[in-house]
Amino acid sequence: MSEKHFELDIKGMTCAACSARIERVLGKLEGVTANVNLATEKAFVSSNNPAIDLPQIIQSIEKTGFGATESAKVDQNQKSLEKEQEYQKLLKEFLLSALLTLPFLVEMVAMLLNIHLHLSSLIQLALATIVQFYCGRKFYVGALKSLKSGSANMDVLVVLGTSAAYFLSLCVMLFNLPLHLYFEASVSVITLVLLGKLLEVRAKAKTGFAIAKLLHLQPKKAFVERDGKLEEVSIEALKVNDVFVVKAGESIPTDGIVLEGASMVDESMMTGESLPVLKSVGDSIVGATKNGDGMLKCQATKVGADTFLSAIVKLIEEAQGSKAPIQRLADTISGIFVPIVVGIAVITFGIWWMVGGNFEEAIINAVSVLVIACPCALGLATPTAIMVGVGRGASEGILIKNAEVLENVGKISAVVFDKTGTLTYADPHVVDTLIEKNSMDKESFLELAAALEEGSKHPLAKAIIKAAPTTSRLSVQTFQNYSGLGVSGEIDGVVYFAGSPAFITQFTSLEHSSKAKLFLNEGNSIVALATHEEIIGYIALADTIRESAKIAVEKLQNDGIAVYMLTGDNERCAQKVAHELGIKHFFAEVLPDGKAEAISRLKNEGKFVCMVGDGINDAPALAVADVAIAMSNGSDIAVESADLILIANDPLFVVNAIALSRATMSKIKQNLFLAFVYNNLAIPLAFMGMLNPIVAGGAMAMSSVSVVSNSLLLRRWKMKK
């Protein structure tokens, strides 16, 4: 019996309780398993029950109060637009809430300065009512859904705490009780929690950008040959075995095989390597790669969902859809905390009423329990630490995209670096020469090679020209470019060839000396210079290793973290770079799916893996990794797939990013500890009637100040040099 898989976009989730509720409901269907991801707002459902179809699954989700749509039918551009609109709406609500909270803040500051400034009770009621039931209405909706699902989330905590303060104050006004008003507590909590929600929505709004940009690489049209004529068709209309033409400078529409022509193709989106690759008859091509100067006639071998690009998209989606092992700690704890606090408040009310017989005293003590247990400190514990940590990182060129990495980075046991553009500069240069012709010096040799390469646009040619002396170039006649292989030209009546060793052998039938073979095996890119009669010499070119890469590797290894290198380069090149950097483990000649597999292999060995990359080809590996770090000089796809972005393009910043993340996570844990220790000490005092609501409100404020102050200590964090 074949298993069916469905991918759904979910609407209306606000916390872990929501995703857990959907999983429980779908799990009750026979033969159905589900993984619901709150961060990506997606559900991945599998079913081996032929009686269960997609409409039934969607109907089950909708019965729980959430919306569900098959992901394939969702317009990603429209989804991104809706996310932005959601953010703008929440931003307006926060700004309104902050504006209405400002008068309460002024009053509190005035009291601290012993200045008698008092808002009338009617003004307080009007301001607090708008904040409580307009700006904070989403918390009531979220709390109601949470309670219906049989659990309690942060929304329940916010609603209980703010409602207790609000309705107690309302009762004081209506019954003219000689008690303090607590409207300032309710509006402050609503405003601060809205700020946290604002940051959360902003992070979620960017979730789908990576895939959207990846899909944007594929052209919308293709030129298909039909009845001897070229016809422009949409990509969706392409079929396997269709013959299509790719003009110079265009992106290749789909995977295929070259039938006619030859051209250099930029495959950096696939391999991550900067050097273009020669494609000629019989060679395979990949959709979304960039054609160079030539024209190619190709035959489609894969289209639609079967293409290489679609496979990358699927890898990213599946990786993003998997659940993080540790997440939403506050929601998990609050699921136990809220019922206990409510129970304590009810018991407090009952005992004081029955023992003391004083209803007013009983209700005040019960409310004191709820006010002292207001989730202000708990709600601030994580967002304040994140805000300070993210701000400190940004000032140092380390951009932390979301809080998940802050939960996971402390467990990192292995860091995997992509080579090109991460450990190196992706800029080839001349590193050595081997001159076989004794009568020629190095300067003349490079000048001769540069003269021949002047007419080539190949990156290696540019590196040779840059390395040559700045004297006037020799005059070259009958220049000819053999795309991707080499060049030839006549200088002073002699025909010279410059290109790969294989190119020289093919055009001159000359054999390489034993000394030359040793030179070729040193792990560099080689350009040979020869005539029909003799090989003049060889030029070795290599990418430049970043100065700080070796220091970064050493620091990570000293910290007990294993370091790996991942590259599409050949084994010799990879081995050379790894040796120079002191890296003991590396993976060579791997494509994007292979990179993701390498990361998965390390994870299966029990390692907690951090991937550092910069190319589109790194996106699947970044998505699979437990922690993903991208260099900002890389592709937008890699950047959007990452948890951390390094502005400085410096491997040493990986060390500092991990240190900053660990420091931030440490502050979050300290804040949560402070928040719960505060409640564990204060709630018993309130239960015993030793705290009235005024003192409870002050204590609540102090708990918030302690949490914020502790978070602000992160500003002292400094970069390691």
Residues taking part in catalysis? 418
DSSP string, 42-88: EEEEEE--TT--HHHHHHHHHHTT-EEEEGGGS-HHHHHHHHHHHHH
Q: How far apart are the first and last CA of the chain?
A: 59
Beta strands in 588-694 (DSSP E): 609-613, 627-631, 644-646
Rounded Cα distance between 53 and 67, Å, is 17
- Mention every residue, 6+ apart, whose C-beta is less than 8 A from residue 690: none
Q: Which helix (DSSP H) or strand (DSSP E) does residue 221 occupy? A: strand 221-226
| DSSP secondary structure code for residue 512 in this structure | P
- Mention every residue, 6+ apart, whose C-beta is less than 8 A from residue 181: 121, 124, 169, 172, 173
Residue matched to tokens 């030793």: 690
Provide the token pair at 704.
Answer: 């918030």
Within 10 angstroms of residue 686's Cβ, the number of other Cβ atoms is 28
Rounded Cα distance between 425 and 543, Å, is 7
Q: Is 287 helix (H, G, I), strand (E, B) or coil?
A: coil
- Mention every residue, 6+ apart, whose C-beta is less than 8 A from residue 115: none
Beta strands in 229-307 (DSSP E): 229-234, 243-246, 255-260, 263-266, 277-279, 284-285, 290-291, 296-302
Provide the token pair at 47.
Answer: 């079913």
